[in-house]
Structure 1
Amino acid sequence: MTTPAYDGTVTPGAAGLKPNLPILSIINMAVGFFGLQIGFALQNANASRIFSTLGSDADKLALFWLAGPVTGLIVQPIVGYLSDRTWNRFGRRRPYFLLGALLASFALLFMPNSPALWIAASSLWILDASLNISMEPFRAFVGDNLNTKQRTLGYAIQGFFIGAGGYVGSKLPEWATNFLGAANTADANIVPDSVKIAFLAGAAILFASVLYTVLTSKEYDPDTLHAFEAADTSALGAARQADRPVPAPNWFQMRGLVAIAIGVGLLALVLSGAAERQLSVFAALVLGLGLLLVFNALRLRASRWPGMVGSLMDDLATMPTLMKRLALVQFTSWFAFFTLWVYLNSAVTSHHFGTTDPTSEAFGAGSLAVNNIFAIYSLVAWGFSLLIPLGTKAIGLKPFYGASLITGGLAFISIWLFPPSLFWVSAIGIGIVWACVLTLPYALLADALPANRMGTYMGIFNYFIVIPQLVVGTIMGTVLTTFLGGETILTLVVAGSVMMLGALLLIFVPYEKPLD
């Protein structure tokens, strides 16, 4: 069953540890992220525009965006669990890369051609789920194949291709207009041709880039990974291999009952009319988590085999301390970015271009300005990713990460203060923090995770990408109308403030980079 990785192009590491891989092998592993990020960029920059064109009000945009996070919350840990237990002639993670890319390409073809708002929202659901099917195993892929010394470099190269894909995906509608003459405006309830052409091109590039990684990369099989981990006698290796006892049934039962009570209470508020209906989505998820925790308590008392659900609940309860605290930092980052993606188009067109009419010239100009913000910050992230290994080596991983969160938070707020002519300054700050958010949490996390549960824990960690999106989707509409006077530009001020809170929380993450 044991198959050497990379067909002998690497040599054994010291004391049987994972060897350094050639830079070309690391690049090949990351190319697929170029296509995946084109899909995310097209979604992030254009979904709200598509929804607005098809008749959505500004305060309902976040509700339509809930489809993706809900799907991600379910899909990511399941895919992580399954990929940890997959090994066949196609590999361990790579079958999931290809499946997700195929489904995402079909969703990109369909979304801008949707005849109705609910169909476009459903397409976003499928697109986000498909991208997550590929993305989560990609994160585990780096943790599987690279040793501790090379992981920051590996995630930085991923960030490089993410930045490149984000830039290309953000510019595709503009390029379709400038080079192909595609119209950037259309009649009411019709998505412009520039957007349709951009999504068509994005689908083709996405699938081709993921296929390239599948064909040019190889993987260590589970037995080889286990042997590498067993050979690591360092303090870091011992901590990674240490078994964490599963809590007693009462631990799960008490937390499950609390979650059920919260979920029922939130649903009661919605049914009584005291809260808006989008809160019911979050309430249902909290209620579902509570039921799963109670189920796991009953399973443990009966000494039954855990299965997938029981294993996920056990792993959720036994997360390393570093992972638990880093999750809070991850929450603040993704709360901010999801707010940006949902509200930036509406914020810029209404505050800086003075219109909410999707058929107007001003709205089209504002939408292109938004695409340029996305393009510039993706371009900055593209280049800045390569500086991250140097920066973290110079001042330390945590200080570098914290400084980027402060920079990003200020950049979010500056969009409110700056005129459109200075949006490029804001975009540079956003690009810096975006590169770090895509790289540093995973470099911190991978060192703390056992190889046989890398995919599962990466999937669980992605809860803290999804949960903040659910929070934004369920409460930001109410915050916007009740506390911000309907001024969508102020949502970016809230987002920037929350991101800077993450820099403070990072202080409490216990991490010391192992010595060479």
Structure 2
Amino acid sequence: MNSGIKPRLSFWQVWNMCFGFFGIQYGFGLQQANLSPIFTYHGASYDQLPLLWLAGPVTGLLIQPLIGAISDRTWTSFGRRKPFFLWGALIGSVAVMFMPYVPELWMVVGLFWILDAAMNTAMEPYRAMVGDMVNREQRPFAFALQTFMISGGQILASLMPVIMLFFGVSALTDGTTIPDIVKYSFVCGVVVILITAFWSFAKTNEYPPENIEEFKAKNKGKVLSSILPDLWSALKDMPLSLRQLWWVKLVTWFGLPLMWQYLSLSIAYHVYDAPTPDAAGFAEGTAQGGTAFAVMHVTTLIVSFFIAKTIHKFGDNKVYAVCLAIGGLGFLSMQLTTDLYMTLACMALVGVGWAGVITVPFIMCANVAPAMRIGIYMGLINAMICLPQIMEMLSIGLVYDSVLGGDPRNALALCGLLFLVGAVLALRIDTSKDALISQQNEEQEQRI
């Protein structure tokens, strides 16, 4: 269905479409809050962590553009995007189930690769489905609702170890065994991922192509053979505003892995004086890392209610820049405190930055990308976040001790500086011309 004739959807139609994102993000939240401690329980050193985190960006770089290109040319009895996010959720839930129970580091790493491959298979179709089904006027709201789901899923995942502590689940560890508070959090994750994915699958009806027989004939036998030509064509024809967006992605997503790799460890190190897994307070300190992530996501959730209106009023690039600047100040402010509550306050500022990161670029992409190629461009936008993450993970381990002083809090300060650079670069993005061209092309296709 062309964007120009897409009907206005009810709140609950958009909600049902986005609800599966809650479970996917619960899975991501589990790994972001707990994976570095799990690696260290299995004997990994701090300077090895970036390399062990490579699964996320590598699978994202390879899978999301491929899934976008394939799903653009696919139509099944279940829809275009829905089969991909359902299979991703099913496979990801298996990896979540076993990750905290396997006895060796290499097994954890292997399951991490499977989990991220599955989650990336599921995530891109959720993004593209909003572009497929939601008209231009409602897109900021729909992507803001996805931000709400991201925040909600990651809040629950981040708080699960603390919730387990509240109910008396053991946090005891000898420095080599994973505590029960982490294990049970992952078991809950399986349930959340499956329920939310099946809900969106059952409650959402995708729009078929306008001439479905012509669509099938055009793409018969070409789905796989057209992947590379489609990717190359999309890169060559990429709108200027998305090329400008790349530079913002480069600096912000070089910094963001530092947060996932070192935030929990920084809290254990500086707030609980527990720099190693065998130190007293390490398990509790890393659990409070989950609390910090929860505060960040609560802030993001609150900001998501206002971000659509502020974009309509002030423009996407200005909102993006302000969010990144506030987030950068949050990271840098952590240098000034060893108090848990002040650290949580800093993470509230980071939550504003995260709201911009996970919302504004996708609104930009949906508005400027050609309607028939929205899946592949959503995949490429996600690929933009993967390359800088790979660069970070291959390089930070080499300078962690020499440049960052072996201190996880200094890694967070570097992330803050990169966010400020990204804020300046965001002001250069101008989507107005590309969005006008895209809208005119859609209207012309509609008349044809």
Equivalent position amino acid for 2:196 in 1:
S
Q: Distance in 1 between matches of 2:46 and 2:134?
A: 44
Q: Distance in 1 between matches of 2:55 and 2:299?
A: 29
Deviation (angstroms), 1:421: 2.5
Q: SS of the counterpart of 1:447?
A: helix
Q: Within the alignment, does 1:59 sit opposite 2:59 as a pair? A: no
Q: Distance in 1 between matches of 2:348 and 2:275?
A: 27
Q: SS of the counterpart of 1:462?
A: helix
Q: Distance in 2 between matches of 1:381 and 1:488?
A: 24
Q: Deviations over 1:114-164 (max 9, x none)?
A: 210111111111111111101011110111111111111100000011111
Q: Which residue of 1 aligns with 2:146?
A: 158
Q: SS of the counterpart of 2:137?
A: helix
Q: Deviations over 1:399-428 (max 9, x none)?
A: 111111000001011122222221221121
Q: Within the alignment, does 1:395 sit opposite 2:314 as a pair? A: yes
Q: Contact (CA 8 Å) 1:111, 1:120: kept in 2 or not?
A: yes
Equivalent position amino acid for 2:361 in 1:
P
Can you give the 5+ residue segments of structure 1 that lack an aligned partner in the other structure?
5-11, 228-304
Equivalent position amino acid for 1:345 in 2:
S
1:404 paired residue among 323, 331, 336: 323
Q: Which residue of 2 aligns with 1:85?
A: 73
Q: Within the alignment, does 1:333 sit opposite 2:321 as a pair? A: no
Q: Distance in 2 between matches of 1:148 and 1:329?
A: 24
Q: Distance in 1 between matches of 2:82 and 2:121?
A: 11
Q: CA distance change for structure 1 residues 488 and 424 in 2, over 3 Å: closer, same or farther?
A: closer
Equivalent position amino acid for 2:317 in 1:
K
Q: Distance in 1 between matches of 2:113 and 2:263?
A: 20
Equivalent position amino acid for 2:259 in 1:
L
Q: Distance in 2 between matches of 1:456 and 1:37?
A: 21
Q: SS of the counterpart of 1:481?
A: coil
Q: Distance in 1 between matches of 2:341 and 2:425?
A: 34
Bigger shift: residues 312-321 or 165-174: 312-321
Q: Within the alignment, does 1:438 sit opposite 2:333 as a pair? A: no
Q: Which residue of 1 aligns with 2:195?
A: 208
TM score, norm. by length of structure 1: 0.79
Q: Which residue of 1 aligns with 2:289?
A: 370
**Displaced runs of 4+ in structure 1, greater than 4 A?**
none
Q: Which residue of 1 aligns with 2:280?
A: 361
Q: Distance in 1 between matches of 2:320 and 2:430?
A: 14
Q: Which residue of 2 aligns with 1:71?
A: 59
1:185 paired residue among 172, 181, 192: 172
Q: SS of the counterpart of 2:400?
A: helix
Q: Distance in 1 between matches of 2:325 and 2:47?
A: 28
Deviation (angstroms), 1:28: 0.8
Q: Within the alignment, does 1:454 sit opposite 2:374 as a pair? A: yes
Q: Distance in 1 between matches of 2:233 and 2:60?
A: 20
Q: Contact (CA 8 Å) 1:30, 1:161: kept in 2 or not?
A: yes
Q: Which residue of 1 aligns with 2:242?
A: 323
Deviation (angstroms), 1:470: 0.5
Q: Distance in 1 between matches of 2:117 and 2:140?
A: 27
Q: SS of the counterpart of 1:219?
A: coil
Q: Within the alignment, does 1:506 sit opposite 2:426 as a pair? A: yes
Bigger shift: residues 482-491 or 122-131: 482-491
2:134 paired residue among 138, 146, 152: 146
Q: SS of the counterpart of 1:400?
A: helix
Q: Distance in 1 between matches of 2:228 and 2:279?
A: 50
Q: Deviations over 1:217-274 (max 9, x none)?
A: 111112379x9xxxxxxxxxxxxxxxxxxxxxxxxxxxxxxxxxxxxxxxxxxxxxxx
Q: SS of the counterpart of 1:113?
A: coil
Q: Contact (CA 8 Å) 1:41, 1:169: kept in 2 or not?
A: yes
Q: Distance in 2 between matches of 1:426 and 1:454?
A: 36
Q: Which residue of 2 aligns with 1:309?
A: 228
2:400 paired residue among 458, 475, 480: 480
1:115 paired residue among 99, 103, 111: 103
Q: Distance in 2 between matches of 1:413 and 1:395?
A: 26
Q: CA distance change for structure 1 residues 224 and 142 in 2, over 3 Å: closer, same or farther?
A: farther
Q: CA distance change for structure 1 residues 388 and 351 in 2, over 3 Å: closer, same or farther?
A: same
Q: Contact (CA 8 Å) 1:185, 1:359: kept in 2 or not?
A: no
Q: Which residue of 2 aligns with 1:196?
A: 183
Q: Distance in 2 between matches of 1:209 and 1:120?
A: 25
Deviation (angstroms), 1:210: 1.1
Q: Deviations over 1:180-238 (max 9, x none)?
A: x211122232111110100000111011101101110111112379x9xxxxxxxxxxx
Equivalent position amino acid for 1:198 in 2:
S
Q: Distance in 1 between matches of 2:413 and 2:175?
A: 31
Within 5 Å, give how 1:276-287 maps onto structure 2.
none
Q: Within the alignment, does 1:465 sit opposite 2:423 as a pair? A: no
Q: Distance in 1 between matches of 2:69 and 2:136?
A: 23
Q: Within the alignment, does 1:20 sit opposite 2:22 as a pair? A: no
Q: SS of the counterpart of 1:187?
A: coil
Higher gyration radius (CA): 1
Q: Within the alignment, does 1:168 sit opposite 2:156 as a pair? A: yes
Q: Distance in 2 between matches of 1:24 and 1:331?
A: 35
Q: Deviations over 1:320-349 (max 9, x none)?
A: 111111122122232222110011122222
1:135 paired residue among 123, 135, 140: 123
Equivalent position amino acid for 2:356 in 1:
C
Q: CA distance change for structure 1 residues 124 and 148 in 2, over 3 Å: closer, same or farther?
A: same
Deviation (angstroms), 1:306: 6.3
Q: Distance in 2 between matches of 1:398 and 1:307?
A: 33
Equivalent position amino acid for 1:478 in 2:
L
2:206 paired residue among 219, 225, 228: 219
Deviation (angstroms), 1:379: 1.3
RMSD of aligned alpha carbons? 2.1
Q: Distance in 2 between matches of 1:377 and 1:224?
A: 45
Q: CA distance change for structure 1 residues 398 and 139 in 2, over 3 Å: closer, same or farther?
A: same
Q: Contact (CA 8 Å) 1:96, 1:134: kept in 2 or not?
A: yes
Bigger shift: residues 423-432 or 310-319: 310-319
Q: Distance in 2 between matches of 1:369 and 1:82?
A: 41
Q: SS of the counterpart of 1:223?
A: coil
Deviation (angstroms), 1:388: 0.8
Equivalent position amino acid for 1:146 in 2:
V
Q: Contact (CA 8 Å) 2:317, 2:430: kept in 1 or not?
A: no
Q: Distance in 1 between matches of 2:209 and 2:81?
A: 11
1:379 paired residue among 298, 302, 327: 298
Q: Contact (CA 8 Å) 2:274, 2:280: kept in 1 or not?
A: no
Bigger shift: residues 346-355 or 210-219: 346-355
Q: What percentage of residue pairs aligned between the two structures are identical?
A: 36
